[in-house]
């Protein structure tokens, strides 16, 4: 019996509410050996006060030393085994913008990028984070690309991101990405990782060649990369597994997509943390479980901006009293993965975790930070451990065995 089957057997109804707050890329590193992380540096009186009546710990998203993508990181937090379910980022982006995928589809997350016109080498993987309005314009230029034997769909997402979907009767996943994750090198071709995917890889490469010709004179977005090329997996839904009516609040499409994939209802929210709190309050009586996502901690970390990441954490801390005024029975605060400004990318470092309910054993930690969490009573656990703990603290699991 796996974890999800066990939860399905043990779940019981209750009039309790669970709130999962994910500060994307929360985990950090000190800039100097004797320094503080972004979370430790941030002025967080409300998080620190909550930490003093909570249980703290560190959580590993996948396995020690394994750096997770956002999809696996969130799947683990939602209680699913990310090693058993591989979900391409293209699927999450497509679902996140409300694109209805079929079993005939292969979806890719697209990134506009900057290329050196002489060498073709990547100079900026995100094209200077162009505004969404420019993304919409560029996507419009690419909509007339056609490929033999398949339908082609392209839609803007946000900033430099877009979704590309090929639909046909004999398309396969098992495809590599074109983004080498480096500057100073050219984009890679799409390669099949299994023989039956070769024709699908060829189609994506034909699309990229046409897109390159169309974008050649654009600045700064004169190129495109494809990531997370995949088909939709079949996952058991949240209501089925946990018995929870779940609502998702996120400003970025990809995170709405992973929530939608597991059967959460995506709630309309604005672009700020404050607007997300308003959405939470407006819908509080209608759901048993809320997934509340904050993106810009991760963006600042990827930009290598230590101070900006600390400021986003402080922005969340300022609205925490409004969240706690809703009286969640269980609140979990953590991240999907670490994104230290020092590293400028996702990393393998464990995530700080705070768990609060009236049934916890508060530990001796006095603040919410990596060092305090390392000494907390939750110990070092896995992302997949968090939903069972939340369910138990919410009175939603019966005992196992006689």
Kindly tell me the number of DSSP H helices and DSSP E strands found in the chain: 14, 13
Q: Kindly state the tokens that stand for 35.
A: 């320094």
- Report the half-sphere exposure of 180 (CA within 13 A, side-chain side): 13
Q: Please tell me the pTM assigned to this model.
A: 0.83
Main-chain phi, psi angles of 46, to 5 degrees: -75, -40
H or E, element range at 282: helix 273-282
Q: Rounded to the nearest 5 degrees, what angle is found at the Cα of 262, between the Cα atoms of 12 and 74?
A: 100
Beta partners for 192?
Answer: 175
Q: Is the dihedral of CA 130, 258, 48, 32 positive or negative?
A: negative
pLDDT at res. 26: 98
Please report, to the nearest 10 degrees, the dihedral formed by the alpha carbons of residues 34, 38, 44, 46 taken in order: -120
Instruction: Work out whether strand 379-382 and strand 55-60 pair parallel, antiparallel, or are unpaired.
Output: parallel
The CA distance from 131 to 128, in Å, is 9
* Domains with residue ranges and CATH for the chain: 3-86+235-393 (3.40.720.10), 92-230 (no CATH)
Q: How buried is 231 (Cβ within 10 angstroms: 0-12 exposed, 13-18 middle, 19+ buried)?
A: buried
DSSP state of 196: G
Question: Rounded to 5, what percent of the chain is helix, strand, coil?
Answer: 35, 20, 45
**pLDDT of res. 231:** 93
What is residue 360's predicted lDDT score, i.e. its pLDDT? Answer: 96
d(CA 248, CA 263): 10
Structure tokens at 207: 């699309």
CA dihedral (373, 252, 318, 313) positive or negative = positive
> What does the pLDDT read at residue 233?
85
Query: How far lies 218's CA from each of 68, 137, 212, 221, 393, in Å?
Result: 33, 11, 10, 6, 54
3-class DSSP assignment, residue 374: helix
Residue 258 to residue 235: CA distance in whole angstroms: 11
Per-residue burial over 367-379, b if 16 or more Cβ lie within 10 Å, else e, is bbbbebbeebebe
The CA distances from residue 24 to 28, 43, 352, 402, in Å, are 11, 18, 12, 40
Tokens linked to 189: 């071709």
H helix intervals, 243-272: 253-261
C-alpha pair distances (Å), 145 with each of 106, 111, 219, 402: 16, 17, 20, 63
pLDDT of residue 9: 96
Mean pLDDT per block of 10 residues along the chain (402 residues) reads 93 97 98 96 98 98 96 95 88 89 94 96 96 96 96 95 96 96 96 97 98 96 96 90 97 89 93 96 98 97 97 98 98 98 97 98 94 97 98 97 86
């Amino acid at each position: 019996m796996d974890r999800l089957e066990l939860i399905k057997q043990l779940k019981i109804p209750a009039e309790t509410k669970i709130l999962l707050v994910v500060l994307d890329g929360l985990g950090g590193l000190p800039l100097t050996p004797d320094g503080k992380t972004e979370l430790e540096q941030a002025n967080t009186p409300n998080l620190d006060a909550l930490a003093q009546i909570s249980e703290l710990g560190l959580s590993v998203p996948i396995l020690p030393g394994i750096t997770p993508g956002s999809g696996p990181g969130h799947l683990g937090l939602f209680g699913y085994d990310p090693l058993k379910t591989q979900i391409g980022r293209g699927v999450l982006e497509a679902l996140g913008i409300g694109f209805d995928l079929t079993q005939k589809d292969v979806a890719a997350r697209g990134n506009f990028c900057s290329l050196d016109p002489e060498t073709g080498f990547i100079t900026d993987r995100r094209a200077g984070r162009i505004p969404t309005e420019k993304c919409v314009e560029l996507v419009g230029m690419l909509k007339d690309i056609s490929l033999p034997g398949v339908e082609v769909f392209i839609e803007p997402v946000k900033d430099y991101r877009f979704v590309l979907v090929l639909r046909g009767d004999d398309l396969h996943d098992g495809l590599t990405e074109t983004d080498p994750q480096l500057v100073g090198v050219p984009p890679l071709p799409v390669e099949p990782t299994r023989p039956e995917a070769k024709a699908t890889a060829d189609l994506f490469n034909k699309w990229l060649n046409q897109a390159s010709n169309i974008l050649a004179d654009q600045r700064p977005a004169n190129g495109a990369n494809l990531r997370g090329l995949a088909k939709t997996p079949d996952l058991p839904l949240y209501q089925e597994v946990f018995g929870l009516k779940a609502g998702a609040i996120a400003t970025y499409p990809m995170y709405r997509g992973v929530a939608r994939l597991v059967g959460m209802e995506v709630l309309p929210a604005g672009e700020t943390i404050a607007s997300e709190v308003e959405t939470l309050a407006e819908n509080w009586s209608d759901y048993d479980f809320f997934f509340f996502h904050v993106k810009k901690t991760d963006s600042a970390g990827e930009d290598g901006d230590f101070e900006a990441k600390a400021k986003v954490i402080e922005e969340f801390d300022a609205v925490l009293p409004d969240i706690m005024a809703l009286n969640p029975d269980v609140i979990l605060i953590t991240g999907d993965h670490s994104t230290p400004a020092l590293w400028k990318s996702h990393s393998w470092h464990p995530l700080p975790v705070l768990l609060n309910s009236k049934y916890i054993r508060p530990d001796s930690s006095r603040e919410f930070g990596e060092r305090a969490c390392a000494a907390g009573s939750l110990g070092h656990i896995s992302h997949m451990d968090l939903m069972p703990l939340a369910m138990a603290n919410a009175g939603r699991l019966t005992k196992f065995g006689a």
